[in-house]
Amino acid sequence: MGELRKIAIVGSARIPFCRAYTGYAEESNLSMLGTAFGGLAEKFNLKGEKVDEVMAGAVLSHSRDFNLAREALLDAGLSPRTPGTSLQIACGTSLQAALALGAKIATGEIDSGIAGGSDTISDSPIVFGNKFQHRMIDLSRAKTPGQKLKAWKGFSFGELKPMAPSTEEPRTGLSMGQHCELMARQWAISREAQDELALNSHRNAAAAYDEGFHDDLIVPCAGVWRDNNVRPDTSLEKMAAMQPAFDRKSGKGTLTAANSTPLTDGAAAVLLASEDWAKARGLPVLAWLSLGQVAANDFAHGDGLLMAPTIAVSEMLRRSNLSLQDFDFYEFHEAFAAQVLCTLKAFADKKYCKEVLGRDEPLGEIDRDKLNVKGSSLAYGHPFAATGARILGATAKLLATSDKQRALISICTAGGQGVTAIVERAAA
């Protein structure tokens, strides 16, 4: 194998993100992802063209989402010779897809790839309990009237109660929000600090819209032209009036609907390539995807569920010989304001850095003015599998349109995992 090649981020496209049960009530993972891929194909003249590989996924998926990536790329008008791979790592899905494709580009296995993700709460799969499912299987296999009648033996109407999708962790029975409440308590994160971070996210996102930052990043879908969760008129006073969302009984709950991401529908995609592939087609190179890291922790036995990105960041910094302060932008997924604040506090905590990260000295603090400067998930919303591609695409454009050089991406995921990346500006 020869020298590793650079991984070019050519550009991105996403549909507007919508709060669940609003703009995309009639859409599916496939229709949304196909629209995002189609917008990307239109933007970079890829209609009918073969891309070497597409990787994408959804966290909440139906059985009809079989090979979602492949079906979506075909709907988008890419060449049928383009292979599609579906994958899932919760909220880190599309960033993980980009890292996997990037590794293939770096080694020369492929020259181009599209990473993406889609999720819809509005079209969540509703399933029945095991007893009724097994009854339906027996019924489908029955060949005689007697066998069909036997399949219904002992039936009760209680079996028809559907099991709604849940964000509970299988190993703990707690939701992500409940886990984050425990983290906020452990790290002494105040309600006021969480609300302030959420307010900044909305203000930065609104300003980004006003300045036209999103004009070439968003493609309309189902008559929707912009994210419908951004609240430019919100305030700390309005946020303070919100009741706790995950701990309503103890009187200590600090996570609310205002400082937590809403349930969201949406899809996003990013085009990656080798430098030669991009140049041959006259396409831009906005930035380089330089490095990535995935990590996990033992959240079921005391580690904070959403703290694994601290491990990923630390290991990635070791590999890159960079410090935490060597970045011009920090793009941290805002699953909850408390998660971001816990992460920042852990980076500066000597005991945590020693015992968890294996460092003799803390990673230190960052310049908060460099954090999520165009807003993030608290403002835009969080369609689980789409968030990584949204952040990666926006980060590449942010670097390309500024005189800054380097950005750090950090995404927490369910299951006690974290996906991180370093993005660097391409030379002008």
CA nearest to 392, candidates 95, 38, 88, 105: 95
Residue with tokens 């079209």, as numbered in its chain: 123
Q: Where are the alpha helices (DSSP H) in 168-307?
A: 176-186, 191-210, 236-240, 275-280
Spatial neighbors of 73 by CB under 8 A, at least 6 apart, are: 34, 37, 51, 54, 82, 84, 114
Segments of 145-296 assigned E as strands = 264-273, 287-296
**261 and 377 Cβ atoms separated by less than 8 Å:** yes
The DSSP symbol for 261 reads: P
Q: In this structure, what are the phi and psi dihedrals at residue 342, rounded to the nearest 5 degrees?
A: -65, -40
Note the pLDDT tens digit of each residue in 311-349. Answer: 999 999 999 999 999 999 999 999 999 999 999 999 999
* Residue among 202, 214, 333, 382 flagged as catalytic: 382
Reading the chain (428 residues) residue by residue, the pLDDT tens digits are: 579 999 999 999 999 999 999 999 999 999 999 999 999 999 999 999 999 999 999 998 887 888 999 999 999 999 999 999 999 999 999 999 999 999 999 999 999 999 999 999 998 776 667 777 787 888 888 888 888 888 788 878 777 776 666 668 999 999 999 999 999 999 999 999 999 999 999 999 999 999 999 999 999 999 999 999 999 999 999 999 999 999 998 989 999 999 999 999 999 999 999 999 999 999 999 999 999 999 999 999 999 999 999 999 999 999 999 999 999 999 999 999 999 999 999 999 999 999 999 999 999 999 999 999 999 999 999 999 999 999 999 999 999 999 899 999 999 999 999 999 999 999 76
Quote the CA–CA distance of 176 and 182 in Å, as a whole number: 10
Q: Is 333 left (phi over 0), alpha (psi -120 to 50) or beta?
A: beta
The pair of three-digit structure tokens given for residue 411, joined into one six-digit string: 């995404």
The DSSP symbol for 50 reads: P
Residue with tokens 């430098």, as numbered in its chain: 275
Q: How many residues does the chain have?
A: 428
Q: What is the dotted CATH code of the domain comprising 176-214+256-261+290-422?
A: 3.40.47.10
The pair of three-digit structure tokens given for residue 238, joined into one six-digit string: 């309005």
The pair of three-digit structure tokens given for residue 278, joined into one six-digit string: 């991009």
* Residue among 91, 180, 342, 353 flagged as catalytic: 91
pLDDT at 126: 67
Spatial neighbors of 420 by CB under 8 A, at least 6 apart, are: 292, 293, 294, 295, 309, 312, 313, 316, 408, 409, 410, 411
The helix/strand/coil state of 35 is: helix
Quote the CA–CA distance of 28 and 26 in Å, as a whole number: 7
* Residue among 180, 221, 342, 412 flagged as catalytic: 412
The helix/strand/coil state of 8 is: strand
Kindly write down the DSSP assignment for every residue of 194-207, as one continuous string: HHHHHHHHHHHHHH
Quote the CA–CA distance of 159 and 400 in Å, as a whole number: 56
Quote the CA–CA distance of 223 and 194 in Å, as a whole number: 33
**Residue 233 is which amino acid?**
D
CA nearest to 280, candidates 112, 110, 105, 81: 112
**341 and 187 Cβ atoms separated by less than 8 Å:** yes
Per domain, the residue ranges of the chain are 176-214+256-261+290-422
Angle between helices 337-347 and 191-210 (to 10 degrees): 110
The pair of three-digit structure tokens given for residue 423, joined into one six-digit string: 């993005």
Beta carbons within 10 angstroms of residue 338's beta carbon: 28
353 is catalytic: no
134 is catalytic: no
The pair of three-digit structure tokens given for residue 390, joined into one six-digit string: 């949204």
CA nearest to 95, candidates 338, 427, 424, 422: 422
Radius of gyration of the chain (CA): 22
Beta carbons within 10 angstroms of residue 95's beta carbon: 31
382 is catalytic: yes
pLDDT at 65: 85
pLDDT at 125: 74
Spatial neighbors of 356 by CB under 8 A, at least 6 apart, are: 297, 303, 307, 310, 311, 346
CA nearest to 310, candidates 167, 183, 396: 183
Q: Where are the alpha helices (DSSP H) in 187-235?
A: 191-210
Quote the CA–CA distance of 148 and 315 in Å, as a whole number: 58
Angle at 376 between CA 370 and CA 377, to 5 degrees: 150
Beta carbons within 10 angstroms of residue 48's beta carbon: 10
